[in-house]
């Protein structure tokens, strides 16, 4: 099986690649918008540089592939990359390229809590992208699964490691909503879910990836970064709408 991964060099992409190398004999291709110099661990990975804004560039890179795993996403907007650009428009370009190049299976990275009226632009854009992709895939005969993970943790994550970096400067740290509960999921489990989805799952379905139990934010941070003095920093949120 020949598998193309958009954003393959990222945190989740590397985990999926490791899982594929461990459990399958698939050929893995990373698609990237920039030149990459992978470590020896990924020396056998084929890397193709693409222009994500150009469907022809994507189509050319996907020729001969059986499956596309689409992982590209952003947590913060920039002048050149908005949530709508990356989470809504880009996945449709990738699916269009799948149609042009004969790819028949598409696995989509979404997010837990998405919805039309979700409390952040990030989640709303993820919802629009997922819905548009399901409609396009159905119309063009592409098998599609979408995975909605909670916060993903691992040695290389960008969430808990931010706390770890900040706590290097001070053992005392303010935490907003320390008792807010969530269900962080291991990047290894996310990778296993995507590998499972290569040949399993129901076309047109979404799969939520969460831990089996809720954990307060404060406890999760302490478990991850070790002993620290965390204290509640109260902020009024009633008139606040997140922009991430």
What mean pLDDT do residues 202-220 have? Answer: 79
177-212 core/surface letters (b: 16 or more CB in 10 A; e: else): ebeeebbbbbbebbbbbbbbbbeebeeeebbebbbe
Which pLDDT band holds residue 230 (cuts at 50, 70, 90)? very low
Query: What is the pLDDT, as a whole number, of residue 43?
Result: 86
User: Does 6 reside within a domain?
Assistant: yes
31 against 153, higher pLDDT: 31
Cβ partners under 8 Å of residue 12, min gap 6: 71, 109, 152, 187, 190, 191
Number of domains in the chain: 1
The arithmetic mean of pLDDT across residues 215-232, rounded, is 53
Domain assignment of residue 229, yes or no: no
- Look up the pTM and report it: 0.82
Predicted pLDDT at 149: 95
The answer to whether residue 244 sits within a structural domain is: no
pLDDT at 35: 84
Residue 47 falls inside a structural domain: yes
Q: Could you tell me the CATH number of the domain that includes residue 117?
A: 3.40.50.720
Residue 224 inside a domain? The answer is: no
Question: Domain residues for 31?
Answer: 2-153+183-213
Tell me whether residue 68 is in a domain: yes
pLDDT at 181: 58
Does 125 fall in a domain?
A: yes
164 found inside a domain: no
Q: How far is C-alpha 27 from the geometric centre of its chain's CA atoms?
A: 21
Task: State pLDDT tens for residues 35-91.
Answer: 887 778 898 999 999 999 999 999 999 999 999 999 999 999 999 999 999 999 999
């Amino acid at each position: 099986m020949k598998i193309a991964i958009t954003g393959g060099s990222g945190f989740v992409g590397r985990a999926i690649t490791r899982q594929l190398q461990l459990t399958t004999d698939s050929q893995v291709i990373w698609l990237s918008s920039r030149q990459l110099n992978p470590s020896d661990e990924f020396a056998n990975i084929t890397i193709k540089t693409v222009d994500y804004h150009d469907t022809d560039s994507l189509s050319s890179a996907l020729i001969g592939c059986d499956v596309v795993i689409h992982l590209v996403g952003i947590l913060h907007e920039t002048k050149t990359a908005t949530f709508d650009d990356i989470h809504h428009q880009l996945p449709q370009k990738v699916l269009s390229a799948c149609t042009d190049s004969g790819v028949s299976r598409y696995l989509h990275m979404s997010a837990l809590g998405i919805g039309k009226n979700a409390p952040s632009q990030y989640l709303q854009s993820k919802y629009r992208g997922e819905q548009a992709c399901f409609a396009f895939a159905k119309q063009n005969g592409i098998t599609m699964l979408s995975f909605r993970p909670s916060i993903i943790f691992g040695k290389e994550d960008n969430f808990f490691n931010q706390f770890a970096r900040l706590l290097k400067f001070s053992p005392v740290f303010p935490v907003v909503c320390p008792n807010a509960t969530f269900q962080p999921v291991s990047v290894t489990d996310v990778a296993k879910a995507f590998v499972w989805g290569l040949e399993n799952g129901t076309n047109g379905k979404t799969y939520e990836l969460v831990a089996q139990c809720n954990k307060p934010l404060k406890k999760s941070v302490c478990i991850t970064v070790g002993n620290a003095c965390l204290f509640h920093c109260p902020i009024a949120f009633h008139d606040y709408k997140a922009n991430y």
